[in-house]
């Protein structure tokens, strides 16, 4: 059975890989781009099955207009994938106010607004899927990633809560947490703060070398296939970790957090009101 998908950021990386695989399967894709010429090859190969439109995910009104046009033109959209985003790295103090705001507006608010714009249509058609591209950095952290992690932890919290809210309407929500993948992310999807000498000896300085790291272990084609196939699972998986590095980072982070919580159990319980004796 063919499906219709709405995907933000299909010019490169996971967005392009997902789009290409879906078109090869015979599905239709409504894809948003910043550069309208970036997917000319796919449009030439697949014609009207690829519906594209320019979108800046930091523009709330443009998001509403584009989502409305996609649902109106394509009649039904089975799955919405929030994929557009980038990584801002460096120590928080090194970043400008503009960098901070733009990271949050793109990675967090952009996905929130696309989701909010799509929900009325998904409810009206009786259900669908929302897939949020996140990262292992939505459940764990590394040095030099404070703002990037803030955006990913934020969107994961939003999506986890939204999944509970929309389940009665037949809408499933899945958060995808890839590790490093051999996409253009390190070259085109990473932005670095202006280094401060004070942080030269800080672990945050490790982020300055992200564009020069060895090739990632993750295969984006394999990851994209799993993401696509997840829409056949019922109920929708809330989270999917992809890549051995993602599994290890998340496992370590959750283990440390749980151990810290257990160590504070008595302290937490000590702040409750004392139970009143039951009158005989």
pLDDT of 89-108, one tens digit each? 999 999 999 999 999 999 99
List, by residue number, the catalytic residues.
134, 148, 152
* Spatial distance between the Cα atoms of 217 and 141, rounded to a whole number of angstroms: 19
How far does Cα 217 stand from its chain's mean position? 19
d(CA 88, CA 97): 12
Q: How high is the pLDDT of residue 235?
A: 96
CB-neighbour burial class of residue 75 (10 A; exposed 0-12, middle 13-18, buried 19+): exposed
The mean pLDDT value of the chain amounts to 93
219 neighbors 182 (Cβ within 8 angstroms): yes
Domain-wise residue ranges, the chain: 4-247
List the structure tokens of 209: 């070398």
The residue assigned the tokens 């979108």 is 55
Kindly report whether the peptide bond that precedes residue 235 is cis, defined as omega within 30 degrees of 0: yes
What's this model's pTM, rounded to 2 decimal places?
0.92
**Calpha distance 152→149 (Å, rounded):** 5
Give me the mean pLDDT over the 191-212 stretch: 84
Find, among 102, 72, 109, 83, the residue nearest to 15 by Cα.
83
Angle between helices 220-229 and 13-25 (to 10 degrees): 60
For 115-125, write each residue's pLDDT tens digit. Answer: 999 999 999 99
Read off the pLDDT band of 164 (50, 70, 90): very high
SS (H, E, C) 52-72: EEECCCCCHHHHHHHHHHHHH
What size, in residues, is the chain?
280
Q: Is the pLDDT of residue 59 over 60?
A: yes
Token pair 């010429």 is found at 37
3-class state of residue 195 by DSSP: coil
Cβ distance 236 to 170 under 8 Å?
A: no
> Domain 4-247 carries which CATH code?
3.40.50.720
In eight-state DSSP terms, residue 108 is I
Token code pair at residue 70: 């996609």
């Amino acid at each position: 059975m063919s499906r219709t998908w709405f995907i933000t950021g299909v010019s490169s990386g996971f967005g392009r890989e997902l789009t290409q695989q879906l078109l090869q399967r015979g599905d239709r894709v409504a894809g948003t781009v910043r550069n309208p010429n970036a997917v000319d090859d796919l449009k030439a190969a697949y014609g009207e099955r690829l519906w594209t439109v320019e979108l800046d995910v930091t523009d709330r009104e443009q998001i509403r207009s584009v989502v409305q046009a996609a649902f109106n033109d394509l009649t039904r959209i089975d799955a919405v994938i929030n994929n557009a985003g980038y990584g801002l790295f460096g120590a928080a103090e090194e970043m400008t106010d503009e960098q901070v705001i733009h990271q949050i507006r793109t990675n967090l608010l952009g996905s929130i607004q696309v989701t909010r714009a799509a929900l009325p249509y998904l409810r009206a058609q009786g259900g669908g899927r929302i897939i949020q591209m996140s990262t292992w950095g939505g459940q764990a952290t590394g040095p030099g990633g404070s703002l990037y992690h803030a955006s990913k932890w934020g969107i994961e919290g939003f999506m986890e809560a939204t999944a509970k809210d929309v389940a009665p309407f037949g809408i499933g929500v899945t958060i995808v947490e890839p590790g490093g993948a051999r996409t253009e992310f390190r070259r085109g999807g990473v932005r670095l703060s202006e280094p401060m000498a004070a942080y030269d000896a800080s672990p945050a300085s490790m982020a300055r070398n992200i564009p020069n790291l060895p090739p990632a272990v993750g295969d984006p084609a394999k990851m994209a296939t799993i993401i696509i196939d997840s829409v056949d699972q019922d109920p929708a998986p809330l989270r999917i970790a992809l890549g051995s590095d993602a599994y290890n980072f998340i496992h370590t982070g959750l283990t440390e957090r749980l151990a810290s919580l257990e160590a504070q159990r008595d302290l937490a319980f000590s702040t409750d009101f004392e139970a009143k004796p039951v009158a005989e």
